[in-house]
């Protein structure tokens, strides 16, 4: 074990050092003009003030939760007192370490992100290539910290808990780490999502529709809160989401590897997920370093070189480099750790079959990129269809958007089903010599481990994907800074193009997040059944019978939880947005000098008041949906039993995946339909009918048109879908799995 465990630890330390190098590179860049610095400082103060208050609240909740978990496991689980005490304190400590690492990665990552926005705006005054590199590397600090701290946290706690324990017992002792990460991620994503959309809705409805001013106009009192919200929702929130994805997937795969370790005495089955994650960090670093000014062609409208297309092409090349290197890494890891087993396999060696399973996961991530682009990019039918619907008003805009949202579930689910089926098939080609003493033999261990390897493969590019995600709010903020500081149109062209690319990359990350959540959910569900078997030694735990009335009731509750939780999250945005709208209207009404005709006669609005409204609204509103999400599986498992909670977990996960797709892609399509119109692509003929975006004969319906007003309404409806409820469901899906893994001893004790 000593040879294997040091690989992820060493690579994790190097990845943190690499993140430090990237942070140093970005922070050494020029911060721009005094006007840029003024706006950037206001964003920084608002973001850090919210994050400090949010994490104080989350810290208190985490400590209370750790104490409760420890007490429950000690007082109510089976076994003698020393065994119960050991399980209780180790789980609680792992929980707190997971919560701490998740919080630290999100905090530092967002700190660098909000420091990168003015530097990106300044770089845009010189070249597209420099602005692209600064914003991407600023986002990569968060990406590499999240994955490295997740990898290091699991590896080190596994190493420490191995002292005095058999290696096969340790994975079940560290599930608290994944639970802690999920716990923090849920509240971070909820709080950040509520904050950002309350500000965004208030800024859009009052600023754009009522006052008729641009999105990032300094006269809008909610503009700073809106720019702050981009960071707390997409940087800290998404970072916490993918932190717990990697942590939970690692631990779930390690639990599945226990049976294979007992059969072969090779610890590689348990440590394989950690080593593969280390290979993924190396691949992501190489892909990231590819994107630099020397490979970026500067834009030229006359020559048809669009800055957005140029930037997206470079980001895609970096991503494809990461994927190719990940495929190599998964095969190398399989050969080194799983190759010398003398396992019987059909046609190919065992390591090759698992390498193919991992490749399926990598291909699924690429498939999600293309599927998400199809449903959220303005060059394809769904977004253009919504843009066309704006010609007949907000009602048809909402109807068409909902139809696109429901439609967009089909292709991703088919891709997930194909990936699960193929990876299971590849893994099942390997015959694992499992004895009756270690496993009942009623499941195909190789097949299930194949799906775990596919999940590992998909998450290998997590650091690069998260870099592209955080790139989005950095460029969005850079665009706001250039507009509010009065920069030249040529600079704004670059930041607008990067902002448009950032919208696409944020949508891609949501698709990637739900795709990885779907694979990880099956992995974690299988791990839960393994945990049940380790306690009960009864093969019936592997059969979850929906005809059993208790299982059916639990499954129905699981599906209902998904919709009820989403309702609470969306309602929280609506309540906070109402207060924001009232405040913006009040400032316009009571201080008319904000909207004075001459610039020299204007006064600044009270930005701090709007920031405070979003902060208080988010922190207050995130508590109820978070509590509902945490306590529902506990109550179901305690009252109905461990088999029933398996049904709850299975059906709740399926419902969460489908609804998250509806919310994420539907909201993204509404958003980009609005941007399609703002970019001047909506054209109509003499009869008022929509024509092709490249047809220059028609009339352009752009900003301030009736169609644009309808698109803003659609975007406002989609905002809490795609940035609050949808991303929060990613976390909820895995939280349900980790909390049931941790509390399985309780459910078994109450229902022996």
Q: Judge whether 151 and 6 are in contact, CB under 8 Å.
A: no
Which of 4-13, 388-397, 496-505 shows the lowest mean pLDDT across its residues? Answer: 496-505
- In this prediction, residue 406 has a pLDDT band, given cuts at 50, 70 and 90, of very high
| 257 falls within a domain | yes
Residue 241 in contact with residue 109, Cβ under 8 Å? no
Find, among 99, 103, 251, 246, the residue nearest to 173 by Cα.
251
Q: Of 29-38, 224-233, 433-442, which one has max mean pLDDT?
A: 29-38
What mean pLDDT do residues 223-244 have?
Answer: 80
**385 in any annotated domain:** no
Q: Are residues 395 and 487 in contact, defined by beta-carbon separation less than 8 angstroms?
A: no
49 part of a folded domain = yes
pLDDT at 439 over 70: no
Residues 185 and 455: their CA atoms lie apart, in Å, by 20
CA distance 34 to 41: 10
Give burial (CB, 10 Å; 0-12/13-18/19+) of 33.
Answer: middle
- pLDDT of 470-494, one tens digit each? 898 899 889 889 988 888 888 888 8
pLDDT band at 437 (very low <50, low <70, confident <90, very high): very low
Close Cβ partners of 714 (under 8 Å, ≥ 6 residues apart):
386, 390, 394, 397, 398, 401, 670, 673, 674
Q: How far apart are CA 641 and CA 647, in angstroms?
A: 10
Report CA 539 to chain centroid distance, whole Å. Answer: 35
| Cβ neighbours, 10 Å, residue 370 | 13
**DSSP H helical ranges for 265-348:** 268-290, 307-338
Q: Quote the CA–CA distance of 107 and 709 in Å, as a whole number.
A: 37
Q: Does 62 score more than 90 pLDDT?
A: yes
Neighbour count for residue 295 (Cβ, 10 Å)? 14
Please report whether residue 25 resides in a domain.
Answer: yes
Radius of gyration of the chain (CA): 25
Residue 548 located in a structural domain: no
Q: Would the CA dihedral through 44, 45, 48, 51 be positive or negative?
A: negative
Are 588 and 602 contacting, i.e. CB atoms less than 8 angstroms apart?
no
- Give the pLDDT of residue 1: 52
Helix (H, G, I), strand (E, B), or coil: what is residue 679? coil
542 lies in some domain:
no
460 with 277: CB under 8 angstroms? Answer: yes
pLDDT for position 436: 40
pLDDT: is 208 or 716 the higher one? Answer: 716
Average pLDDT value for residue range 542-566? 93
Is residue 432 in some structural domain? no
Query: Phi and psi dihedrals of 672, rounded to 5?
Result: -75, -20
Residue 427, domain member (yes or no): no
Of the candidates 562, 720, 673, 750, which has an alpha carbon nearest to the alpha carbon of residue 229? 720
Q: Which residue has the tokens 């929702």?
A: 233
Gap between the Cα atoms of 431 and 691, Å rounded = 59
CA 504 to chain centre: 14
pLDDT at 441: 46
Please count the structural domains in the chain: 1
Least confident span in 4-13, 96-105, 546-555: 96-105
How much is the pTM?
0.89
Lowest mean pLDDT among 202-206, 624-628, 649-653, 717-721: 202-206
Q: What domain range is 197 assigned to?
A: 2-378+413-421+445-530+560-750
Whether residue 332 is predicted with pLDDT greater than 50 in this model: the reply is yes
Structure token digits, residue 543: 């059969």
Q: Using CA atoms, how far apart are residues 296 and 285, in angstroms rounded to an integer?
A: 18
Q: For residue 435, what pLDDT band results from cuts at 50, 70 and 90?
A: low
Rounded to an integer, the average pLDDT of 410-429 is: 94
């Amino acid at each position: 074990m000593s040879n294997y465990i040091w690989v992820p630890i060493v690579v994790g330390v190097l990845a943190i050092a690499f993140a430090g190098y990237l942070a140093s590179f970005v922070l050494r860049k020029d911060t721009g003009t005094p006007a840029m610095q003024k706006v950037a400082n206001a964003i920084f103060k608002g973001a850090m003030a919210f994050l400090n208050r949010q994490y104080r609240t989350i810290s208190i909740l985490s400590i209370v939760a750790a104490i409760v978990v420890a007490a429950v496991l000690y007082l109510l689980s089976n076994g003698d007192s020393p065994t119960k005490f050991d399980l209780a304190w180790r789980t609680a400590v792992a929980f707190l370490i997971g919560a701490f690492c998740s919080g630290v990665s999100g905090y530092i990552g967002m700190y660098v992100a909000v420091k990168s926005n003015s530097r990106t705006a300044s770089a845009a005054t010189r070249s597209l290539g420099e602005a692209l590199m600064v914003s991407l590397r600023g986002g990569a600090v968060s990406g590499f910290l999240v994955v490295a701290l997740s990898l290091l946290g699991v590896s080190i706690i596994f190493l420490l808990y191995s002292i005095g324990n058999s290696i096969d017992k340790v994975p079940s002792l560290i599930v608290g780490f994944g639970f802690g990460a999920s716990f923090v991620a849920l509240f971070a994503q909820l709080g950040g999502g509520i904050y950002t959309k309350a500000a965004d809705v208030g800024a859009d409805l009052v600023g754009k529709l009522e006052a008729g001013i641009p999105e990032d106009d300094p006269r809008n009192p909610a503009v700073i809160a809106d720019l702050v919200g981009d960071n707390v929702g997409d940087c800290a929130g998404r970072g916490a989401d993918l932190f717990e994805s990697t942590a939970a997937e690692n631990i779930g795969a390690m639990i599945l590897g226990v049976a294979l370790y007992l059969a072969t005495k090779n610890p590689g089955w348990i440590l394989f997920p950690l080593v593969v994650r280390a290979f993924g960090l190396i691949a992501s670093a190489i892909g990231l370093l590819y994107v630099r000014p020397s490979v970026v062609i500067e834009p030229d409208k006359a020559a048809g070189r669009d800055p957005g297309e140029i930037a997206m092409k470079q980001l895609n090349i970096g991503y494809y480099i990461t994927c190719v290197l990940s495929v190599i890494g998964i095969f190398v890891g399989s050969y080194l750790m799983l190759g010398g087993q003398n396992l019987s396999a059909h046609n190919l060696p065992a390591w090759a079959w698992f390498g193919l399973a991992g490749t399926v996961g990598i291909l699924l991530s690429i498939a999600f990129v293309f599927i998400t682009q199809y449903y959220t990019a303005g060059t394809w039918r769904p977004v253009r269809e919504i843009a066309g619907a704006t010609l007949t008003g907000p009602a048809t805009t909402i109807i068409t958007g909902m139809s696109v949202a429901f439609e967009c579930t089909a292709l991703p689910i088919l891709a997930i089903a194909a990936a699960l089926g193929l990876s299971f098939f590849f893994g099942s080609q390997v015959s694992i010599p499992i004895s009756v003493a270690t496993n009942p033999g009623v499941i195909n261990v190789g097949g299930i481990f194949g799906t775990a390897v596919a999940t590992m493969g998909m998450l290998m590019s997590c650091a690069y994907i998260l870099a592209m995600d955080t790139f989005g709010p950095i460029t969005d903020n850079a665009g706001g800074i250039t507009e509010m500081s009065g920069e030249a149109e040529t600079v704004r062209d670059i930041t607008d193009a990067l902002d448009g690319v950032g919208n696409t990359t944020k949508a891609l990350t949501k698709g990637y997040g739900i795709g990885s959540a779907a694979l990880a959910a099956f992995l974690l569900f299988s791990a839960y059944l393994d945990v049940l078997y380790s306690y009960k030694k009864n093969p019936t735990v592997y059969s979850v019978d929906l005809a059993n009335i208790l299982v059916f009731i639990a499954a129905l509750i699981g599906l209902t939880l998904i919709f009820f939780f989403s309702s609470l999250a969306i309602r929280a945005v609506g309540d906070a947005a109402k207060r924001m709208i009232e405040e913006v209207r009040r400032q316009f009404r009571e201080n008319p000098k904000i909207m004075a005709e001459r610039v020299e006669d204007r006064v600044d609005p009270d930005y701090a008041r709007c920031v405070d409204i979003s902060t208080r609204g988010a922190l207050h509103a995130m508590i109820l949906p978070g509590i509902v999400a945490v306590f529902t599986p506990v109550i179901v498992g305690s009252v109905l039993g461990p088999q029933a909670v398996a049904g709850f977990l299975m059906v709740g996960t399926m419902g969460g995946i489908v609804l998250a797709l509806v919310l994420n892609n539907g909201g993204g399509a509404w958003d980009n339909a609005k941007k399609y119109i703002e970019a001047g692509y909506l054209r109509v003929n003499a009869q008022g009918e929509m024509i092709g975006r490249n047809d220059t004969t028609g009339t352009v319906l752009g900003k301030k048109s009736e169609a644009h007003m309808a698109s803003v309404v659609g975007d406002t409806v989609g905002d809490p879908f795609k940035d609050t409820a949808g991303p929060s469901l990613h976390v909820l899906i895995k939280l349900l799995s980790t909390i049931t893994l941790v509390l399985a001893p309780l459910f078994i004790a109450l229902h022996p």
